[in-house]
Structures are given as structure tokens and as C-alpha cells.
Structure 1
Amino acid sequence: MLKESLFWLFESLEDPNRPLFGPNYWLLNKTGLLLPKNRMDRIWIIIIHEIVMIFVVTQFMELYLIGTDLDLVLSNLKMSMLSSVCVIKANAFVFWQENWSQVIDYITEADKFERDNQDEAKGNIINSYTRYCRRVTYLYWVLVFTTFFTTVTSSLVKYYSLEKGFYNGTEPFPHILSSWMPFDKDNSPGCWITVMWHTWLCAYGAAIMGAYDTSVMVVMVYFGGKLELLRIRCREMLGTEGKGISNENAEKVVRQLHGIHVLLLKHSRLFNSVLSPVMFCYVVICSVMICASAYQLTSTTNTAQKLLMAEYLIFGIAQLFMFCWHSNCVMYKSQDVMMGLYESDWWAANLQQRKNVLILQGQMRIVHIYTAGPFTNLTLPTFIAILKGAYSYYTILRK
């Protein structure tokens, strides 16, 4: 019964017009990252996004009011940074809405083209990256939901802690998030109003994270798959079995491959232009988030809090790793594309066809690299460097 329900749920998220991007496109619409066409609906969605941005300001106001309590400062700073990343992602997506739409439309049309013109080898690659995108999307959604659930329930676990008994008002109310409120948030009814407000905000942030992050990952996976398909097309450009093709057909194939690569490069750079500023902010903030989580994990004595900090730390590291891993894969696949030219039957081609191959080789040498601002690339060495930086900050705090 459960298996049938999950199958029905997953099938309901599929879109025949978007065979690769269906579930991600659905969540982008539900979260309001893809703005509706109706003018009033668009205004309402934008207002919601900006209300959340105002909430982030109240978090930093509370950070100023906390004082010198290191544990509270780290808890607030960690959540404030994560909230800031959510707001940056939402507003960046809305601000560059047209660019994102161009990238999504290109992926949809290019993916349909490949599906309509596939053979066995290309079909295996298409099925492979489609299945991988689904696994990454759904598993990441589970991770985000788990983080949301543990974050929301952590305050209730602390409230009804077996070690301290029921909350008696002698300590500050254990809120989900730390933020300034225009009323007494430590006593009823203000405390429960704050809990409901924070719960909605956590749900909003989880939805934004799930929609934005998985969309970025699927785009990267598709670009990697497209590069693999392009390598196969390059391998077959001069025919098979050494029989060769006519100059007219060879020129036609070279023009097609050149056009495919130019479009791929254009939209890859467009994608990087909207992703790079967000990743720059995230990379800068991530070190602080991971450092704060690691410090609290090792300093707290409460078991429930340890579990929460461990899950939060895993989420932060996994999120950063997924971006760097998929970006790194695209970089290496783009370096391997021109190998398809050497794997072709170039040795059976005439002089004119070999000249076309050399021209195409120069085009294929361009490497696709996604960046985090103007300072670093999204690669595995960057991921390792961030972890080293976070550990350095952690050792400073421990001293």
C-alpha cells in the first residue's frame, strides 16, 4: 500500500512536457520562485518573499540584543546565516527570473531533442541522468524535510525534556528560531504565536531550499549528460567502420555539432551568471554555519540537542558537497568532449574534412566551470578548502 502511494505521488509530479525537469518545475511553481502570470498573484508572492527578508532582519536584531552568551550567539548566528541564504536564493531567483526561464526552457527543448534522436548508446545516457536526477531530487527533499522536522521539534523536545520536567517559566522559552518580536515572546500567548510564526518560516525556508538546490543540481547534471551525448555525436561525426562520408554531409554534421556546443556554452554561462553570486554568498556563510554547528555539537551535553546539531551539520556539509560535486563533474566532462573527435574515424577523412575537425576541436576545448563569485570555482578542492577553514574557526572557538 505504501509503495503504491509513493508511486502515485511520484507519478503525479511528472510532466510529459518536461520529462527531465517535471518535479523540480512543480516545486518551483508551488514555492513562488517561478512567478505566476497573473499580476496580483505575482505581487502577492513577491510580498511574501520580502516579509521573510524582514524576518531575517529581526534575527540580526535579536543577535545584537543577546549580548555575550556564546552559545546563544552561535545558535542565532547559525540560523540567521541559513535564513539569509534562503532569502538570497529566493530574491536572486525572482530578480533573474527571465534568465532562469531561458535556462529551464533550453534544458527542456534540448532534452526533448535528444530523446527524439536517440539510439541505444544515447538512450542509456539519457535514462541514466534522468534516473539520477530523480534520485537526487527526492533524496534531497527527504534530507530537507528531516532538517525542517528536527528544527521545529527540537524546541518542543527541550520544552518537554525528561531531564528538566515540564516548562515552569523559570528559563527563557525554548523557541525554534531566535528573533526579535514586538511582544512578550516568553509567556503565553505570545510564545505560542511565535512558535507558529517560526514554524511557517521554517516550512517556507525548507521549501525554498528544496526547490532551488535541486533545480541547480538537475541543471548541472543535465549539462554533464549533454556533454556526454555531444562526445558520442563527435565520435560518430565521420561515419563508422571507416567507410567515411561525403564532404557535404561532413560539413552539415560539423555545423550541427558546432551549433549544439555554442547553445550549450551560451546557456551554461547564463546559468553560471545567476548561480555565481548566490554561491559566493553561500560559500562565505557556509564556513560559519559548519563551524557553529560543530562547536555546539561538541559542547552541548543534551542528547536531543546533540542529535539536532549532528543532523544540521550533516545537512550543511551535504548541501555544499552536492553543489561542488556536480559542478566538478561538469568541468571534467567538458574537458573530455573533444576526445570524441579523436575517437571518430578522422583517419579515413579527406583533407577538407580533417580541417573541419581541427576547427571543431578548437571549439570543444572550451571548459565549463561554475564559479562562486569572482574568487573561486565550485570544485571539490574548494569544498575541501571550506571544510578546512571551518575547522580552523572551530579550533579557535575551542581555545
Structure 2
Amino acid sequence: MVTKFLESLEDHKQRLLGPNIWIMTSTGLLLPENNFFKVVYIIIHELVTLFVITQCVEIYVVRSDLDQVIENVKISLMSIMGVIKSNSFLFEQNRWKQVLEYVTEADEYERVHKDKIRGEIIDRYTKYCRRVTYFSFIFVFVTVVTVISTPLLNFLSSRNFREGFRNGSEPFPHICSSWTPFDKNHSPGSWITVIWHICMCAYGGSLVAAYDTSIIVIMKFFGGKLDLLRERAKLVLGPPGNRISDDEVKRMLRCLHHEHILLIKQSRLFNSLLSPVMFLYVAMCSLNLCAVAFQLTSATSATQKLFLAVFFLFVIAQIFIYCWQSNDVLVKSKQLTLGPYESEWWAANAKQMQYALMLAGQFRIQCVFTAGPFASLTLPTFITIVKGAYSYYTLLRK
């Protein structure tokens, strides 16, 4: 059953982005052409935004209780980032579609014109994208289930809490802490709030999965495209032992030059869409890691520690995979210059050597993804985020 479902997500017109397009379309991240359904999806998105606003209001309401504030901040920061991701995608829908169209067309071109070596590269990054996409779906699903079930499991695992709830000394165990215009601690308001929270958590988690997996797949494609350009640059002066004419070298040079310029153009468009979101994401992840670490050290229940550890791993995994994949693209971009020098340039004539030097000069333009104007998305940045979170944690403990 699972295999059939995964196979149904494949699309021969979107051989790389098939599952990602499916979830973006299903969640309304990619708005439909029909105006009625477009309005419906926009309303649903803004209901999620309204829910996040009520979470922020609740933080102000319970500001005198430090433990409650930290718990609310932990969930609210993730909710805020989900809303920022989805709304930024909606507001820049046309520009995002340009990036998606480029990835689809460039990937299809490479598949049509592949040879054995380039085919292996394409198969490798396609399999990687599928693993990351499906693993992220599972990981987000587990996280959402964990968040939804935490109050119930805490209720079942803590005898003192159950007794306190029965005698009225403990409040109703809600999934999230959000402000409501009615009494949320007594029926029917309590159960209305539970259903509302479940819907918002499930839909919000789906939006995050759709956004994150699509971004990672696009980043991986840019890295794969750089590998393909490097392989083709090795043959710019002809196959080993087989010299080609100056005109043929010039034609191949123009083709590679054009593809590299298009890659840089689209990567910069992609970065202009991603960078502001990543800037806020890095800052909020630092605060979130700090909040979760503080709760881990003060938690007394084994169940609570387990759920906090899962949530901590979720935050770490999200920011790590962004930095890892972006760092991989940067490394491959730097290595691209080696492509022309890996050809048989020593056996070429002076004019062909000049062409190879021109191509190497073009390849020096690097593909870099950033988190705002201050930092690149790289592994050193990830380490800095973790160090910063620990510093905030130490300050909070004091």
C-alpha cells in the first residue's frame, strides 16, 4: 500500500519534483488556477496566521509564569516560522514558480542528453531527493503526532496531574497554548479548542514539510547541476584522445557559458526568496534550542524528557540539513573551476587553451546561499547557531 502511494506521487512531467509538487499543491502552497479554490486556500493560510497570533497573545497573558512562557515560546517560534515560510511563498508565488520551472526544465534537459557518467549523477541526486523528501514527511508526521499526543500522555503518565485535574487544581491539558474568546478549560470550549489545535498542528506541519522538502530538493539540484557542468567541462576540448575543431570547441563553450549564467541567475533568484526567511529562521532556531535545552534540564517526567528530546532533534535536524545542503552547493561551486583543467588542455592548440581559460574564468562565479546579509548557510554557520543557543541557555539559567 505504501509503495503504491509513493509511486502515485511520481510524475513523468516532473521527474525530480513530482512528490514535492504534489504536497505543495495539496497544502495550497502552490495556489490552484481556479479562483474559488485559490481564495479558499488563502483563507485557510490566514486562519493559520490568526492561530499563531493567538499564541503570541497567550504568551503575554501568562507572562508571570516563566515555565509556561518558555513552553509557549518553544511552540510559538516554530509556528511563527511556519507562517513566515508559507506566507512568503504565497506572496512571491510567481517568482517561486520561475525557480520551479527552471529546475524542471534543466533537469529534463540533462536527462534527455545524459551519458553514462552524467546519468549516474542524475540518478544519485534523484534518489537523494526522494530519501530526503520521504524522510522529512515521516519526521514531520512523527513530530506533529508527538506534539498532539503530549498532553494526553502526560495526563496518563502522571497520577498527581490526574488527581489535580479531577479536583480542579490542574487546568485542562491543551495541545498548544493560545488565547480564545471563550472558556477553554471547561466543556464544550475545551474540546472545541482541542479540535482547533489538532487541525492547526496537522495543517501547519504539512506546510512546513512541503516548504522544507522543496527547498532541500532545489538546493540538491543546484549541486547536481554543478556536477554535471563539471563533467561536461571535462569534454569541452573533445573526448580523451579525440581532438575536435575550434568551431566545435567554441560551440560547446557557448553552451556551457550560457547554462552557467542561467544557473547563477536562477540561484540568485532562489537565494533572494530564501535568504530573508533563513535570517529569521536562524535567529528563531537559536532561541528555540535554548528554550528546549532549558526545559530538558528542568523536566522531571521521563515522558516529558522524551518528547522534549524529539522536539530538540527536530529543530536541530531542520537547520542542519539547510546548512549541510547549502554548504555542499558552495563546495561544488568552488570545484567547478577544475572542470576545464581536467580536460586534455595540454594537447590543445593555443586558441582552444584560451577558450578553456575563458570558461574557467566564468566558472569562478560562485553559487552561495545566505541567511540575510550577515551569514552564509554553511556548516560553520550551523556550529555558530548551536554555540549561540548554548550562550542564551547559560544566560537564562543564571
* Shared fold per TM-score greater than 0.5: yes
Tell me how far apart the structure 2 counterparts of residues 48 and 375 of structure 1 sit (CA, whole Å): 34
Q: CA deviation at 1:161?
A: 3.0
1:335-379: CA deviation from partner (whole Å, max 9, x where unpaired)? 001101100111122222222111111110011110011111100
2:275 maps to a residue whose letter is S
Q: CA deviation at 1:242?
A: 3.5
Corresponding position of 2:261: 262
1:211 maps to a residue whose letter is A
3-state SS of 1:240 partner: coil
Q: CA deviation at 1:64?
A: 0.5
Q: CA deviation at 1:179?
A: 0.7
Greater alpha carbon shift after TM alignment, 311-320 vs 339-348:
339-348
The one of 9, 12, 19 aligned to 2:5: 9
Matched, 1:119 2:119: no
2:81 maps to a residue whose letter is V
Q: CA deviation at 1:304?
A: 1.5
Corresponding position of 2:362: 363
The one of 38, 61, 71 aligned to 1:75: 71
Tell me how far apart the structure 1 counterparts of residues 38 and 11 of structure 2 sit (CA, whole Å): 23
Gaps (5+ residues) in structure 2? none
Corresponding position of 1:44: 40
The one of 14, 37, 61 aligned to 1:65: 61
1:14-47: CA deviation from partner (whole Å, max 9, x where unpaired)? 1110111100010000010100001121111111
Corresponding position of 2:127: 131
Greater alpha carbon shift after TM alignment, 50-59 vs 205-214:
50-59
1:203-261: CA deviation from partner (whole Å, max 9, x where unpaired)? 01110110000000000000000000100000011112233210110110000000110
Tell me how far apart the structure 2 counterparts of residues 241 and 129 of structure 1 sit (CA, whole Å): 26
2:83 maps to a residue whose letter is V
The one of 15, 25, 28 aligned to 1:29: 25
3-state SS of 1:239 partner: coil
1:254 maps to a residue whose letter is L
2:23 maps to a residue whose letter is L
Corresponding position of 1:243: 242
Corresponding position of 2:313: 314
Tell me how far apart the structure 1 counterparts of residues 66 and 158 of structure 2 sit (CA, whole Å): 25
Tell me how far apart the structure 1 counterparts of residues 242 and 48 of structure 2 sit (CA, whole Å): 64
Listed as ranges, the matches of 1:125-164 within 5 Å are 125-164=121-160
Greater alpha carbon shift after TM alignment, 345-354 vs 98-107:
345-354
Listed as ranges, the matches of 1:1-399 within 5 Å are 5-164=1-160, 165=162, 167-168=165-166, 169-399=168-398
Aligned length: 395
Tell me how far apart the structure 1 counterparts of residues 41 and 19 of structure 2 sit (CA, whole Å): 20
Tell me how far apart the structure 2 counterparts of residues 67 and 244 of structure 1 sit (CA, whole Å): 75
1:92-141: CA deviation from partner (whole Å, max 9, x where unpaired)? 00011111101111111111111111111001101100001000111111
1:77 maps to a residue whose letter is V
Tell me how far apart the structure 1 counterparts of residues 394 and 113 of structure 2 sit (CA, whole Å): 55
Gaps (5+ residues) in structure 1? none
Tell me how far apart the structure 2 counterparts of residues 68 and 287 of structure 1 sit (CA, whole Å): 23
Tell me how far apart the structure 1 counterparts of residues 392 and 316 of structure 2 sit (CA, whole Å): 16
Tell me how far apart the structure 1 counterparts of residues 385 and 60 of structure 2 sit (CA, whole Å): 27
Tell me how far apart the structure 1 counterparts of residues 367 and 64 of structure 2 sit (CA, whole Å): 46
2:176 maps to a residue whose letter is L
Tell me how far apart the structure 2 counterparts of residues 183 and 225 of structure 1 sit (CA, whole Å): 53
Q: Give the 4+ runs in structure 1 shifted more than 4 A.
A: none
What TM-score, normalized by structure 2, do the two folds share? 0.98
3-state SS of 2:366 partner: coil
* 8 A Cα contact 1:220 1:326, kept in partner: yes
3-state SS of 1:179 partner: coil
Greater alpha carbon shift after TM alignment, 17-26 vs 345-354:
345-354
Tell me how far apart the structure 1 counterparts of residues 319 and 295 of structure 2 sit (CA, whole Å): 20
Greater alpha carbon shift after TM alignment, 285-294 vs 169-178:
169-178
1:195 maps to a residue whose letter is V
* 8 A Cα contact 1:244 1:345, kept in partner: no
Q: CA deviation at 1:398?
A: 1.8
Q: CA deviation at 1:162?
A: 4.1
1:318 maps to a residue whose letter is A
3-state SS of 1:237 partner: coil
Tell me how far apart the structure 1 counterparts of residues 299 and 61 of structure 2 sit (CA, whole Å): 22
3-state SS of 1:160 partner: helix
* 8 A Cα contact 1:74 1:292, kept in partner: yes
3-state SS of 1:48 partner: helix
* 8 A Cα contact 1:152 1:202, kept in partner: yes
3-state SS of 2:157 partner: coil
* 8 A Cα contact 1:243 1:348, kept in partner: no
Tell me how far apart the structure 1 counterparts of residues 337 and 344 of structure 2 sit (CA, whole Å): 14
Quote the RMSD (CA, aligned, Å): 1.0
1:22 maps to a residue whose letter is G
2:292 maps to a residue whose letter is S
Tell me how far apart the structure 2 counterparts of residues 35 and 123 of structure 1 sit (CA, whole Å): 33
